[in-house]
Structure 1
């Protein structure tokens, strides 16, 4: 009898949850029929059996609820990726911020990225920018807590720590350098084909190779072995990123040119800066890259005249 009761509840629970997944009203009698069967079971069985049956029904309903939630999350992620690809930064943020309490790492790192992208817009005020930067760090941190095997969570956590460093001062910025490097390296380890993570590791190397003398002194005080790198190491990562995904990012083209320039290879610098200048501008950042590339090209051409 217990087995029969369980089968009956399973049929009832499945009927209810199937209706939820379809997203439309069930036929007039079926919902009532299920609840009548549940009522009969509840009244006719012993307490221990009723508890067991109730537990089975709860498990079934919970399982389908999780599936339903998964479908909903996938739908949100699809919408988010479409808006990101379309450059709809504000719409993307408004979509994702509604789900800031989500347990989904994929959604949370996208929210961190959207918050940061919104902060970077020229029309965003200084006060709003700071707030969004700190929000982005919290979302990225939460994404990492939910899934430490998610390469994008590591990548965006590192990016957001770096951004917050701009508000924390030179000392804090340098102190967080090792953490940033660690998370970029972890992102690359988890997904070596992600050109963005490789590019950002290159930016880290370039930044410390190009560090002003006064920052180097602060770093030497903070650490027995302060963070350091070379232009050759930076170039290695920029080349790796370009090999993984050619012409994927205007800024990688720009930094290839800038790094070759630092290494006094003007021929290669001209090649990559020209590519950066000619890269189609889809975002405000692309426009800034074009502007910097033109300025550097003009500077090199002026030097070559003399």
Structure 2
């Protein structure tokens, strides 16, 4: 009996021992599994952290690039405005044309701000191209090329930002210029489009004296249209474009009110319109102002010359 009991004890002890060993083995296996899981988690955390840091670094670089791009665009526009104010037409054109293919200054993200900056640069390039075309030293062939080039830049500016009043203004101006090369029919046919864009420019910026002045020029041109052009217009349209000198005068006065003495040509056209309305007293007043306006550009010089000729003719009539 004692022997049996001793055997049971030995088997029990062995069972317990084996059980403990199995338990330890399971514990070691479980510990290894936990360790492996922790290792994976650590690697995952490292990867996640790396990805996060990389993402944040990308965002930071993108933001820096965006800010840099914004500063670059603003710097170009500031230089352009300085050159325009200084009458440096050729330098202005060269500055802007070298950036015409680098629109959307930020490579990483194209924001609304960048699109607006593109439009600002493009309409300035349209203006610079046109101004260069108007210089007396520009050949006839170069002038035509620049005029069509200006229209393309203005069109692209409008495509970039339809809410940009200057893009509408210069698009209308350039369409009008191109009309000089495409005949009377094309010129008259585009008249409604030109008027629409001048009106849109005024709607977007009611204080822009230039847009208002140009709307006056549109009215004056159709009020002063030769009879043969009127006939062509009547053939092209059931209701052809038309206007009056009174309407033209209204816009020229509005422009002068918005910005007094801002433009020699507005002074000239105030005088010319009053002359058409047989108000010689007011015509003399505004033509004299046009004559005395300081000549900063070739256009100002031409305005002075025309004003002097008109003043001489009025004085001859008054004698």
TM-score range, shorter chain: 0.7 to 0.9
Q: Measure the CA separation in 2 of the matches of 1:74 and 1:14.
A: 87
Deviations 1:36-85 (A, max 9, x none): 99999999767777656544432332222111100011111111111111
Q: Measure the CA separation in 1 of the matches of 2:155 and 2:10.
A: 40
Q: Measure the CA separation in 2 of the matches of 1:87 and 1:212.
A: 35
Cα gap change, 1:160/1:34 in structure 2, threshold over 3 Å: closer, same or farther? farther
Cα gap change, 1:232/1:15 in structure 2, threshold over 3 Å: closer, same or farther? farther
Following superposition, the deviation at residue 304 of structure 1 comes to 1.2
Deviations 1:225-272 (A, max 9, x none): 111000000000000000111111000000000000000111111111
Number of aligned pairs?
Answer: 305
Greater shift, 16-25 or 139-148, is seen at: 16-25
Cα gap change, 1:262/1:21 in structure 2, threshold over 3 Å: closer, same or farther? farther
Cα gap change, 1:281/1:16 in structure 2, threshold over 3 Å: closer, same or farther? farther
Tell me the equivalent position of 1:18: 18
Tell me the equivalent position of 1:154: 168
Cα gap change, 1:261/1:54 in structure 2, threshold over 3 Å: closer, same or farther? same
User: Secondary structure at the residue paired with 1:24?
Assistant: helix
Greater shift, 128-137 or 98-107, is seen at: 98-107
Greater shift, 71-80 or 95-104, is seen at: 95-104
Cα gap change, 1:40/1:80 in structure 2, threshold over 3 Å: closer, same or farther? farther
Q: Measure the CA separation in 1 of the matches of 2:28 and 2:260.
A: 59
Cα gap change, 1:98/1:220 in structure 2, threshold over 3 Å: closer, same or farther? same
Q: Measure the CA separation in 2 of the matches of 1:28 and 1:260.
A: 106
Could you state the TM-score of these two structures normalised by the residue count of structure 2? 0.80
Judge conservation of contact 1:144–1:150 (CA < 8 Å) in 2.
yes
Judge conservation of contact 1:9–1:38 (CA < 8 Å) in 2.
no
Following superposition, the deviation at residue 114 of structure 1 comes to 0.5
Following superposition, the deviation at residue 87 of structure 1 comes to 0.5
User: Secondary structure at the residue paired with 2:283?
Assistant: helix
- RMSD of the TM alignment (CA)? 18.5
Greater shift, 123-132 or 43-52, is seen at: 43-52
Q: Measure the CA separation in 1 of the matches of 2:198 and 2:135.
A: 24
Cα gap change, 1:217/1:202 in structure 2, threshold over 3 Å: closer, same or farther? same
The answer to whether structure 1 residue 58 and structure 2 residue 58 are counterparts is yes
Deviations 1:87-133 (A, max 9, x none): 00001101010111246111111111001000000000001101111
1:78-89 alignment to 2 at 5 Å?
78-89=78-89
Judge conservation of contact 1:188–1:198 (CA < 8 Å) in 2.
yes
Cα gap change, 1:44/1:203 in structure 2, threshold over 3 Å: closer, same or farther? same
Q: Measure the CA separation in 2 of the matches of 1:74 and 1:12.
A: 90
Judge conservation of contact 1:270–1:297 (CA < 8 Å) in 2.
yes
Greater shift, 204-213 or 13-22, is seen at: 13-22
Q: Measure the CA separation in 1 of the matches of 2:60 and 2:315.
A: 71
Q: Measure the CA separation in 2 of the matches of 1:82 and 1:18.
A: 93
Following superposition, the deviation at residue 18 of structure 1 comes to 66
Q: Measure the CA separation in 1 of the matches of 2:266 and 2:257.
A: 11
